[in-house]
Structure 1
Amino acid sequence: MASVVRMPAALAGVTEAAIQTWIAKPGQQLAVGDLLAEIETEKAVVEYATEVAGTVGRLLVDEGDSIEVGAPIAVILAAGEGEDAIGPALTAAGAAAPERLEPAEPAAAEPASAEAVAPAVVATPPTEVSVASPPSGASAARLVASPIVRRLARERGIDLAALTGTGPGGRIVRRDLDGIPAAAATAPVATAPSSAPPPTPATAAAGTPEKLTGMRKAIARRLTESKTTVPHFYVTAHCRVDRLLALRAQVNEAAPRKVSVNDFVLKAVAGALVDVPAANAIWGGDHILRFTGADIAVAVAVEGGLLTPVLRGVDSLSLVDVSAAVAELAERARAGRLQQHELEGGSFSVSNLGMYGVDDFSAILNPPQSGILAVSAAKQQPVVDDGVLAVGTVMTVTLSADHRVIDGAVAAEWMTAFVRRIENPVSALL
């Protein structure tokens, strides 16, 4: 029987996605695992492979079209079936033709039902993002844009309908947006002065509603779920980092690239996870999954939200390698070029707001990870050394832990190991 393939949830929390490229074509024979399409979300570009064998009967979505998760995107015919099997397959699956999402109002939908065919995920290097231009005579409201291009245009105040694409077939691509200054795109229209008296101020300031981006919706949904369903508890420590800052200065005099305080923090977190393996685990519902290596997610602020790419095997990387890897991940995160697998996995996260000068904060866990370390600014404070009052540089850190996985004593043991490593920073070089 013919199978209806639906738009899957490519990443956690994603409610819409776009077909960037159809890899399979109508009439093409497919085996299980053959690539079907490249699908783009606001966070990544991924390849999808079919889980059923057969012939591509019909592609229901045009390249560049953004549609809801769960909407049908293709029909795959079984052996011996023809075009006449497509209609009954769509009817049996309760699937209507997918509705394209307008760029100004991205829609949200629940994940597809279990009867839908969800292709498997295969990581792919990010490619140039393109947007399908509207057909001749089409209205501006029918302009179709991929999630990443729509997000960038929305954040910069750029009207996509006013652009001429430079991509294949006249498509609008990311470089078309990059050439337009945000200020020029949102410049106010001059008006003639009015002799009317100024309006009387309202007793309360009126707010301006702002539409939620897909990323903001995902953040709201996942963190609300985390805070309401995961039993958080917190452990705070104050670390002396004078020796760390002195060692960092020495390393940066000779290293091929500059290293940051956060690079030392990541190495200390990884070392503490190795020292206290009971903390290097995640909740699995009916089991606890334990790890040996240290895969750590790094919080990266991007336009309109936050991404947490995962740095693999931090315990086995040199300090300089950590610095290079974090910089590369952060750069691609801000450009919207992360791959799906780079946003998945890991048992632990680090969120560093020290560059903003904050004294102390607590972070919300990033499920299914069981720990996240909130790192504040390193500041000079009064300290006591062997009964003598002195001035030292102190950095406050707070561990948020999942009590289903990590007990208080384990959290305290992990924090002790972290402080020991951060206050003896030469361990990051070993």
Structure 2
Amino acid sequence: MAEVINMPKMSDTMTEGVIVSWLKQVGDDVKPGDILAEVETDKATMELENFVKGTLLHIGIPAGGSVPVDALIAIVGKKGEDISALLGGAKPATSAEDKPAVEDKKEDSEKPDAEKNTAPPEKAVDKTNDKIKAEPSTDNKKDAAPVAESTEKETQQTTGDQTQPEEHDDRLKASPLAKSIAKDKGINLAQVSGSGDNGRIVKKDIENFVPAKEMGSAKTPAKETALPQIVAEESFKEVPVSQMRKAIARRLSESKNTAPHFYLTMSINMDKIVAARKQMNEYSDVKISVNDIIIKAVATALRKNPNVNSSWLGDKIRYNNHIHVGVAVAIEDGLIVPVVKFADNKSISHISAEVKQLAEKAKNKKLQPNEFEGNTFTISNLGMFGIDSFTAIINPPDACILAVGASKETVIAENGEMKIAQVMKVTLSCDHRVVDGAMGSTFLQTLKDLLENPVKMLV
């Protein structure tokens, strides 16, 4: 009898899956252990394993399509077997290409009639290709010409006045000295206002005289220049939301909206950690990073502060005896949190090797569910990007997340003297339903003590 293969639930938060590719086709013989397809979940791209011997009789969803958990995706049975009864109750799969069209129609139907019938302004939109062009203002061109013309006329008039021969200088009331100075400077006495008796022009009038051309040039407005014509068009692209991005949006929105966050920030002197790391790498086969040491320090601090290693469950609070530290890893289309389990029981070199392996699998979307589930505390480190400090959103079901910034040279006071030290800022985001300020502060004090005195991690 033919067997129906449904979309399996591959993680605790998975609600639907996308078929990335089919590795077997209809008519192919399959046996238990064969990989039928690659499935994208909200956490990773995983292989869909077959558990039935027979022939692949039906593929219910094409590559690129998505279906909810437990929906039919394939049928395996004997070659030539009638599967019409099995297909009768199956719901049609949703293709990735079909979704935008449905959404577009829905959005269009929800628009009011007035909006549907309203055409965009003709000046702003080119109806042939819906491209918006920025047209230069025509008002500037109309205003610019008269200004230029009037300026030119004023200049000509002023120039003409100054170049007129001084035919009537003798008839003007002016002192001989004023006339002599005016002649030497080429000043037309007809343009000079006298300050002496009965308007007589004297020496100081000539000395204080400012030609009309200079006065005019100071008052004449600058010629307006039309801006060059710039033709541009708005552009954008829209891409379907991946399963991972949907999960990030859903989980972190839920966390931020339901968990009352509060934040505690502390500065830590990292000089001894930098020196210890240098010594460790001289003896370790694995290159140890500062982040590896921070993971070990966090795990040790959690062992000493179990109240922080907890979860809110609605009607009860869970205090975890085991310590599973999640480490946020950035990948191409989002981020994922691989988990270092029982981190307090592992050496720093062990943690370093495991983190590198998990990060590589995460970037290749090859993590298995048990490798990204079960975290009791999470670390998000943006120090490698030069970020001084930041606040992180709590990663459910944890009660806390630690945001780690960069280590930077900072002037500090030590034993009454000023010195330069490598200082790192960390910020603890806490769920106030579970962790109070004193609990979070005590945890940070313990973490600071361990990082500033790394030998204590070995005790």
Q: Distance in 2 between matches of 1:28 and 1:49?
A: 8
Calculate the aligned-residue CA RMSD, in Å: 3.9
| Matching residue of 1:101 | 96
State which structure, 1 or 2, has the greater radius of gyration over its C-alpha atoms.
2
- The answer to whether the 8 A contact 2:22-2:63 is kept is yes
2:368 to 339, 345, 368: 339
Give the AA of the match of 1:86: L
- 1:286 Cα offset (Å): 2.7
1:103-122 aligned within 5 A: none
| Matching residue of 1:208 | 236
2:262 to 222, 229, 233: 233
Structure 1, residues 277-335: CA drift from partner, whole Å, max 9, x if none? 11111122332222222211111111122111111111111111111111111111111
Shift of the 384–337 alpha-carbon distance from structure 1 to 2, 3 Å rule, reads same
| Matching residue of 2:273 | 244
Shift of the 28–253 alpha-carbon distance from structure 1 to 2, 3 Å rule, reads closer
Q: Distance in 1 between matches of 2:407 and 2:98?
A: 43
- The answer to whether the 8 A contact 1:67-1:100 is kept is yes
| Matching residue of 1:378 | 407
- 1:210 Cα offset (Å): 3.3
- The answer to whether the 8 A contact 1:46-1:340 is kept is no
| Matching residue of 2:390 | 361
Task: Using the aligned pairs only, state the percent identity.
Answer: 36
SS of 1:270 mapped into structure 2: helix
| Matching residue of 2:314 | 285
Q: Is 1:273 aligned with 2:272?
A: no
- 1:67 Cα offset (Å): 2.4
Shift of the 20–405 alpha-carbon distance from structure 1 to 2, 3 Å rule, reads farther
Q: Is 1:44 aligned with 2:45?
A: yes
Which segments of 5 or more consecutive residues in structure 2 lack a partner in the other structure?
104-227
Shift of the 380–295 alpha-carbon distance from structure 1 to 2, 3 Å rule, reads same
Structure scoring higher RCO (CA < 8 A, sep ≥ 6) equals 1
1:149-188 aligned within 5 A: none
Q: Is 1:427 aligned with 2:426?
A: no
Shift of the 243–285 alpha-carbon distance from structure 1 to 2, 3 Å rule, reads same
| Matching residue of 1:66 | 65
Shift of the 366–199 alpha-carbon distance from structure 1 to 2, 3 Å rule, reads farther
Shift of the 264–105 alpha-carbon distance from structure 1 to 2, 3 Å rule, reads farther
- The answer to whether the 8 A contact 1:272-1:414 is kept is yes
Shift of the 47–29 alpha-carbon distance from structure 1 to 2, 3 Å rule, reads closer
| Matching residue of 2:86 | 86
Q: Distance in 2 between matches of 1:306 and 1:245?
A: 28
Q: Is 1:295 aligned with 2:324?
A: yes
| Matching residue of 2:7 | 7
Q: Distance in 2 between matches of 1:324 and 1:48?
A: 29
1:114-133 aligned within 5 A: none
| Matching residue of 1:397 | 426
Q: Distance in 2 between matches of 1:6 and 1:107?
A: 25
Q: Distance in 2 between matches of 1:388 and 1:357?
A: 28
Q: Distance in 1 between matches of 2:431 and 2:304?
A: 19
Shift of the 40–379 alpha-carbon distance from structure 1 to 2, 3 Å rule, reads same
Q: Distance in 2 between matches of 1:49 and 1:409?
A: 52
Structure 1, residues 93-140: CA drift from partner, whole Å, max 9, x if none? xx23x24434997999xxxxxxxxxxxxxxxxxxxxxxxxxxxxxxxx
Q: Distance in 2 between matches of 1:85 and 1:57?
A: 16
TM-score normalised per structure 2:
0.61
Shift of the 22–411 alpha-carbon distance from structure 1 to 2, 3 Å rule, reads farther
Which segments of 5 or more consecutive residues in structure 1 lack a partner in the other structure?
109-197
Shift of the 103–345 alpha-carbon distance from structure 1 to 2, 3 Å rule, reads farther
| Matching residue of 2:17 | 16
- The answer to whether the 8 A contact 1:350-1:374 is kept is yes
| Between 354-363 and 217-226, the greater mean CA deviation after superposition | 217-226
Shift of the 277–20 alpha-carbon distance from structure 1 to 2, 3 Å rule, reads farther
Q: Distance in 2 between matches of 1:372 and 1:266?
A: 12
TM-score normalised per structure 1:
0.65
| Matching residue of 1:262 | 291
- 1:46 Cα offset (Å): 5.0
- The answer to whether the 8 A contact 1:242-1:392 is kept is yes
Shift of the 104–356 alpha-carbon distance from structure 1 to 2, 3 Å rule, reads farther
Q: Distance in 2 between matches of 1:233 and 1:17?
A: 37
Q: Distance in 2 between matches of 1:334 and 1:88?
A: 40
Give the AA of the match of 1:362: T
SS of 2:395 mapped into structure 1: coil
Shift of the 357–107 alpha-carbon distance from structure 1 to 2, 3 Å rule, reads farther
Shift of the 56–278 alpha-carbon distance from structure 1 to 2, 3 Å rule, reads farther
Shift of the 405–37 alpha-carbon distance from structure 1 to 2, 3 Å rule, reads farther
Equivalent pairs, count: 327
